[in-house]
Amino acid sequence: MAALRAAGAANALRPSVAAGSVASSRSFSSAGAVRKAAQPFHKDEPQAPVLKTKSIPGPESTRYIDDLNKSFETRSVNMMVDYTKSVGNYVADPDGNLLLDVYAQIASIPVGYNNAALAEVAQSPEMVCAIINRPALGNFPSHTWASLLKTGVLKVAPKGLDNVYTAMAGSDANEIAYKAAFMYRRQLERGGPDAEFTPEELESAMRNEAPGSPQLSILSFKQGFHGRLFGSLSTTRSKPIHKLDIPAFDWPQATFPQCKYPMDQHVEENEKAEQASLDEPIQSEGGDNHAPPSFFRKLRALTKKHNVLLIVDEVQTGVGATGKFWAHDHWNLQDPPDMVTFSKKAQTAGYYYRTKDMRPNKPYRQFNTWMGDPAKALLFRGIINEIERLDLVNHTAKVGDYLYGKIEGLAKQYPDHFRNLRGKGQGTFIAFDNPKRDAFLAKAKTFGINIGGSGTSAVRLRPMLIFQQHHADILVEALEKIVKAL
C-alpha cells in the first residue's frame, strides 16, 4: 500500500466539542507544551483529558445505564459514551468527561471519533444506496461491487492473497475460513474438485455424522482468542468465562511460545519455545503474547510440509496498529499464509485467500444471506483512504517506537508495575503486565485515560492510528500517576 501524502495534514473535524467546556475543567498540564511540537490530525481535540465528575460513571451516565439495564445487558458496561461529543482520540461521556482513549472500542476504531472524511463517506449517495438496498451478495451483487472491492478491501490485500470472501465480524470471518479449510482438506482426500460426494457422505452429513460431517480439527494455540461462536469458540483458549457451559469440538491446542521479554535480550531461551500450528500473529485477547518472526517462518514451513493450511487471524492485529498494515508483514514469509482473516478496524470482515482453487468446488457451499455488507466495505475504503492520506501506518510505527521508549523508562523506574513490557518495533501494539491489573484499569479513568486489558494480567495499549506523540506524553504521564496511586 502506497502512502499518498505525508503525515501532518490537519483533518478538519465536526466541531462537536466546545472549547469553553474544556477550558473550564480540570485538565492535565503537559499537553499544551507538547502540542506545539506536533500538528494534531484532529484539530478539535481537547489539549488534554477533561474530568468533570469525581468518578466514572458519573450521575448522568449512571442514569443512562440504569435505564438501559431494563432490557439490555449492562454488567459489562465499561463506560457510557456520548458519541456525538467524542472527538479524535478522545471519548466523551454524558457527564462531560473526555478521556484519552487508548482502547478504542476494543481496538476497532482506526482513524478517530467523528472523523470528517468518514462522515463524508457516510453521507455519500453510494453509502445511502448501500444502506437502504442491502444485497444478498452471493446471489445479487451490485454491479459496483467488484470496483468497490478493488478500490477498498482488495487494495490492502496481504501479499499473495488477492481473493476474498467477505463477512460481518471477526468470529464469522474465522468460521468461514475454517469451513473453507475443511472443504479444501476433504477435497484433497477425495482426489480433487471433480470427485463426487458419495451417497454415504450425503446421507451421513444430514445426521451430523462422519464421513459427511468429518472429524477434522482446527489446531489453535493455548491462550489464543478467535471468537465466540461455536466453531471459533472451540479454537479460543483465552479464559474459562469465555467457554464455560458451551458445547465444544474436541479440537487440539498447541503451546504458543512462552517468550521472555524483551525478546532481543532472550534470544536463545525464546528459540527453544517454538512449536508448530495455526494462529493469530500476536495473541491479543489472550494476553498480548508475541513470538519472533523466525517462529512464524518455521511454522509456515512446517504447515507446508504437512499440507496443512495456515490461517492467520489478523482481526485485532491487522490494519496498521503494529506499524505494518498486517502484523504478519513483520515475518518476511517466503510463502504467504493460505488465509488471513480480518475485521475490527476494517469495520467489515472476511478472509483473504490465495487462489481460486481454494474456493469450494461447488457454489452454495460457502454461502449465507448477506455474506458481508457493502456499506461496511465502503467505510473500510474510506478508512484506507484516510490511512494513505495521512500515512498512518508509518506514523504509527514511529509513534509506537517513541511510546515504547517512554514506557521502557517507566519500567526501569517501576519494574513491579510494568512487567514483561512487549511490542518493541510493533507500532503501538504494546502491552505489559501489572500485578493489580484490574485496579490499574479502573484507576486509569480517574486520570483521564480509557485503557483496556487482555489475558489475566496484561494492560494492553490499543490506541487509534491517529495517536500522536503528544498523546503519548499525556498517556505516559498518566501511567506514572496511576501506578503511584495503586
Residue numbers 365-424 binding its own copies by CB under 8 A: 365-370, 375, 379
> Can you tell me which of 205, 263, 273, 301 binds its own copies, judged by CB under 8 A?
205
Work out the angle at residue 468's Cα, subtended by the Cα atoms of residues 463 and 469, and round it to the nearest 5 degrees.
120
Q: How many residues bind its own copies (CB under 8 A)?
A: 125
User: Using CB under 8 A as the criterion, what x/- string covers residues 217-246 for binding its own copies?
Assistant: x---------xxxxxx-x--x--xxxxxxx
Is 159 a binder of its own copies (CB under 8 A)? Answer: no
Place of cell 491462550: 223
The alpha carbon of residue 75 and the mean position of all alpha carbons in its chain are separated, in whole angstroms, by 23
- Name residue 276's amino acid: A
Is 307 a binder of its own copies (CB under 8 A)? Answer: no
Nearer to its own copies, 370 or 402 (CB): 370
The alpha carbon of residue 42 and the mean position of all alpha carbons in its chain are separated, in whole angstroms, by 22
Interacting span for its own copies (CB under 8 A) from 47-55, 59-67, 388-396, 454-462: 59-67
Q: Which of 88, 94, 96 is nearest to 113 (CA)?
A: 88
The whole-angstrom separation of Cα 167 and Cα 344 is 12
The whole-angstrom separation of Cα 78 and Cα 100 is 15
Question: Which residue out of 225, 295, 432, 447 is catalytically annotated?
Answer: 225
Nearest approach, Cβ of residue 150 and its own copies (Å): 8
- Name residue 37's amino acid: A
The answer to whether 172 is a known catalytic residue is: no
Is 194 a binder of its own copies (CB under 8 A)? Answer: no
Residue 257 near residue 281 (C-beta atoms within 8 A): no
Nearer to its own copies, 397 or 465 (CB): 465
Q: Are strands 431-433 and 458-460 parallel, antiparallel or unpaired?
A: antiparallel
Report the chain's C-alpha Rg in angstroms. 23
Nearest approach, Cβ of residue 243 and its own copies (Å): 4
The alpha carbon of residue 151 and the mean position of all alpha carbons in its chain are separated, in whole angstroms, by 22
The answer to whether 369 is a known catalytic residue is: yes
Nearest approach, Cβ of residue 222 and its own copies (Å): 8
> Can you tell me which of 219, 249, 302, 446 binds its own copies, judged by CB under 8 A?
249
Is 463 a binder of its own copies (CB under 8 A)? Answer: no
The answer to whether 324 is a known catalytic residue is: no
Nearest approach, Cβ of residue 396 and its own copies (Å): 20
Span 72-111, contacts to its own copies by CB under 8 A:
72-84, 86, 91, 93-94, 105-106, 108-109
Question: Which residue out of 362, 369, 412, 484 is catalytically annotated?
Answer: 369
Work out the angle at residue 464's Cα, subtended by the Cα atoms of residues 25 and 68, and round it to the nearest 5 degrees.
65
Nearer to its own copies, 261 or 429 (CB): 429
Nearest approach, Cβ of residue 36 and its own copies (Å): 29
DSSP state of 253: E
> Can you tell me which of 48, 51, 164, 299 binds its own copies, judged by CB under 8 A?
164
DSSP state of 154: G
Interacting span for its own copies (CB under 8 A) from 115-123, 319-327, 405-413, 428-436: 115-123
Span 308-347, contacts to its own copies by CB under 8 A:
343-344, 347
Nearer to its own copies, 232 or 317 (CB): 232
Nearer to its own copies, 197 or 414 (CB): 197
Length of the chain: 486
Spatial neighbors of 16 by CB under 8 A, at least 6 apart, are 44, 84, 85, 86, 87, 114
Interacting span for its own copies (CB under 8 A) from 66-74, 262-270, 391-399, 400-408: 66-74
> Can you tell me which of 30, 53, 155, 201 binds its own copies, judged by CB under 8 A?
201
Nearer to its own copies, 225 or 295 (CB): 225
Q: Which of 10, 74, 1, 63 is nearest to 468 (CA)?
A: 10
> 41: which strand partners?
none
As given in the structure block, the three cell numbers for residue 181 are 479449510
The answer to whether 329 is a known catalytic residue is: no
**Three-state secondary structure of 326-395:** CHHHHHCCCCCCCEEEECHHHCCEEEEECCHHHCCCCCCCCCCCCCCCHHHHHHHHHHHHHHHHCCHHHH
Nearest approach, Cβ of residue 226 and its own copies (Å): 12
Nearest approach, Cβ of residue 405 and its own copies (Å): 29
Which residues are catalytically annotated?
A: 225, 313, 344, 369
